[in-house]
Every structure is written in C-alpha cells, then in structure tokens.
Structure 1
C-alpha cells in the first residue's frame, strides 16, 4: 500500500512538472520573439521633402528701363511706386499726352504669375486739387504691354515717338476707372519681364458728364491715379 501511494505521488509531481514545462516554454517563446520596425519620413538627405512654394512679384519703374537689382522693389500697397512720366506731366494742356513705363517680373524663387491690371483709384495720402473730379473724369489712358525674356528691356521706349510701335494696347484711350479685360503671364523664377507703357491724354475737347462748362475750368487741377497689378500664382 505504501508503494502505491508513492507511485501516485510521483505521477502527480511529474504531471505538475510537465505543466510547468509547458508554461515555461510558452513564456520563453514570448520573451525571445524578434521585432523589426521600418520608418520613413517626407524628405531625404536631411532636407524636408514637403513644403509650400514661394510667390512674389516685383516692379521696376526706371525710365529708361534698368535691370540692375536695386531697380526692382516690392511696393504692395497704395500708392505704390512712382511712375516717371515724360516732360510736362504736371503742366498738361488740352491735347497733350504723357508717358511712363513700369515692368513686372517674379523673383528668382517664385512660382509663375497671372497678372491683371485694375482700374485706377486715387493714390492714398496724396493731396490733389480737383473739384468735382473733372480732371480725373477727363483724362484718357492707354496702356501698351510687351513680354520679354529677362533681362531684356522693352523693344521700344515708352515715349510719344515709339509708344504706337508696341502694338495693340492692353486698354486704349479709356477713362481712368477702366480695368483691363485680358491678363499677362509672368514666368516662374524671374524667367520673363512684362513691360507696360502708360499713356495719359488730356483731350482737346470738353468731355461729357463734367461740372466744368469749359476747358479753361480745368486749369490748375491735379490728380494722382494709382493702379494695382493684381497677381495670382499659377
């Protein structure tokens, strides 16, 4: 009888030991598993690979046109850069026309641009003498334009002798409150220059819709029109 009890106890111990062995093997398998992770990021060589483009258009009002770097500037609010008109701009007589150039292009790190010339508005912080805006309503504006590969200047100078040689105007002999209906394209990274030639004419006859009853009433008046070139990337 004693031997039978010993035999049963031995079997229990063996069974317990076998169970422990199974548990032990399971635990060892979990602890000994291998892991491998792979990461990627948006870029390479320490340089970010995701970002936004740059968009910037600058103007140049030198006359005659000069492509040297200081001639280009950002003037993004009214009244902007001053146009250099031909002689007699402040002493117009009926029938006179004055001319002034401006050029636009993108910066060297900019996306391309589509440009629209808006209608003139009064320049801010500039004192003028123009009761009833009769001079403003009288002036007629023509704008010629030409696209050139940087750094070339315009084919023709913006003067009375050469303005018509620019070809079909962007706007032609219209009131100052007239916007252009077509757009121009500036190539990316300063790849092209769009030249504009503004021609302002004081008609030799009195225009309709004025308070003034004669051309003589327009003497001694001043105006300061400002134009916005609205640029959109693309």
Structure 2
C-alpha cells in the first residue's frame, strides 16, 4: 500500500506536468496566430494622385459672350437693358441678356435666379419682369422673347419673384476649357395703369444668381 506521502508527491508531479503542458499549448497558440495574421495598408487616389476638393468658379458675360469675368458676390457689372430703360412709358418692356458658365477647372452648378431687390422705392415696386432660359443675346428681344428658350419666371411677375426651379450650368468637358454657356434673358416692364406720380423717377433693380456646386 502506497503511503499518503508518496501519493502526495505523485499528485504534485502530475500537476507540474499538466501545468507545463498547458503552458506549451498556450505558447503554440500564440505563435500560430502571429504566423497567420498580417496588416495591409492601401492608399486612396483618383488614379493619378490623392484626393482633392473642388472649387466652384462661375463666369458671366453681359455682352453676349465677348467678354467673360469671374463672378463675385458684388461688383459684377450692370445688365444693359438699352437706353429706353431710363425712359419707360406705361406698357413698355426692355430686355437684357446674361450668360453664365463654369470656368476651366470648376465643377458645374445648379443655379437659382432670385428676384430683383424691392425696397421702399415706389417705381421699383411697380416694375414687373419675366425670364427665359436658354436664350442667346441675339434672341433676347421683343420679337423672340415669347417663344425663345423656356420659361424661367413668368412674364408679368413682381420684381421680387424668384424662379421656382433651378437650372444647370454644366461642368466643363474639356480639360483647360470652360463649360458651355447658358443664357438667361430678362424682360422688365412698366405696366399700364401705374400712377402718374411715378413719372420722372429712377431706380436700380438688382438680380442675384445663387449657384451651388454639383
């Protein structure tokens, strides 16, 4: 019969062997994970370089496309409605053209025509206007206005009326060249029946085009 002391010694040896085996198993497991794991890094690009952000650059022309200037928040020149604009008689309508395009290197834009500024000026409040889209300067006149392009703002609208929908100024398709120009024709009228007290007055309406990069 084995004495209790001998039994205790055997149990200690078995426990030591079991513990060594557990440690060995853990060691093998860690080594295996390291052997089968790998970190991979890839860079994003446009095919030629890294990522970049666009910058919206709209240009406008007030002379039918002969001269183009970069549009700014202020000081964009004056729409030329002709000499009759300063001598309106009730029932008269005058016309002016503006062309918009995306500059070279710019994205295109969705543009909304906002109404003319209306303040306490009585004459400014009496004027009405209409706007048509897709009209070149040569067709921005009394003969062509009713049918040229498409309606942007209905004729006879109050000067403060904004266009109900935006229009597209396309992105340039050729590197280093501007995009296709989009023409807007404005027709401003002094309606019949306005008070005679408005005679001899002057005013300066302002229109704003709000462009959002596409």
Q: Same fold (TM over 0.5)?
A: yes
**Corresponding residue to 2:160 among 177, 195, 198:** 177
How big is the shift at 1:78? 3.6
The answer to whether the aligner puts 1:106 opposite 2:102 as a matched pair is yes
**Corresponding residue to 2:203 among 205, 216, 223:** 223
Provide Cα deviations, 1:86-142, integer angstroms capped at 9, x if missing partner.
3311111111111000010101111121010112126xxxxxxx9x42211110101
The answer to whether the aligner puts 1:196 opposite 2:184 as a matched pair is yes
How big is the shift at 1:219? 1.1
How big is the shift at 1:165? 2.7
Distance 1:228 1:89 in 2: 19
Q: Which residue of 1 aligns with 2:56?
A: 55
Distance 2:213 2:82 in 1: 33
Does structure 2 conserve the Cα–Cα contact (< 8 Å) formed by 1:79 and 1:226?
A: no
Change (3 A) 1:53 1:76: same
Distance 1:180 1:90 in 2: 25
- Stretches of structure 2 that go unaligned for 5 or more consecutive residues are 1-39, 173-177
Q: Which residue of 1 aligns with 2:35?
A: none
How big is the shift at 1:232? 0.5
**Corresponding residue to 2:144 among 162, 166, 169:** 162
Does structure 2 conserve the Cα–Cα contact (< 8 Å) formed by 1:145 and 1:194?
A: yes
Number of positions where the alignment pairs a residue of Structure 1 with one of Structure 2: 170
**RMSD over equivalenced CA pairs, Å:** 2.6
- Stretches of structure 1 that go unaligned for 5 or more consecutive residues are 1-37, 123-129, 148-153, 207-214
Does structure 2 conserve the Cα–Cα contact (< 8 Å) formed by 1:114 and 1:233?
A: yes
The secondary structure found in structure 2 opposite 1:165 is coil
Q: Within 5 Å, give how 1:57-76 maps onto structure 2.
A: 57-62=58-63, 65-66=64-65, 68=66, 71-76=67-72
Q: Within 5 Å, give how 1:1-234 maps onto structure 2.
A: 48-62=49-63, 65-66=64-65, 68=66, 71-78=67-74, 80-121=76-117, 132-146=120-134, 154=136, 156-172=138-154, 173-189=156-172, 190-206=178-194, 215-234=195-214
Change (3 A) 1:74 1:44: closer
Distance 1:140 1:44 in 2: 49
Does structure 1 conserve the Cα–Cα contact (< 8 Å) formed by 2:131 and 2:186?
A: yes
How big is the shift at 1:187? 1.0
How big is the shift at 1:182? 1.0
The secondary structure found in structure 2 opposite 1:220 is coil
Output the TM-score relative to the length of structure 1.
0.65
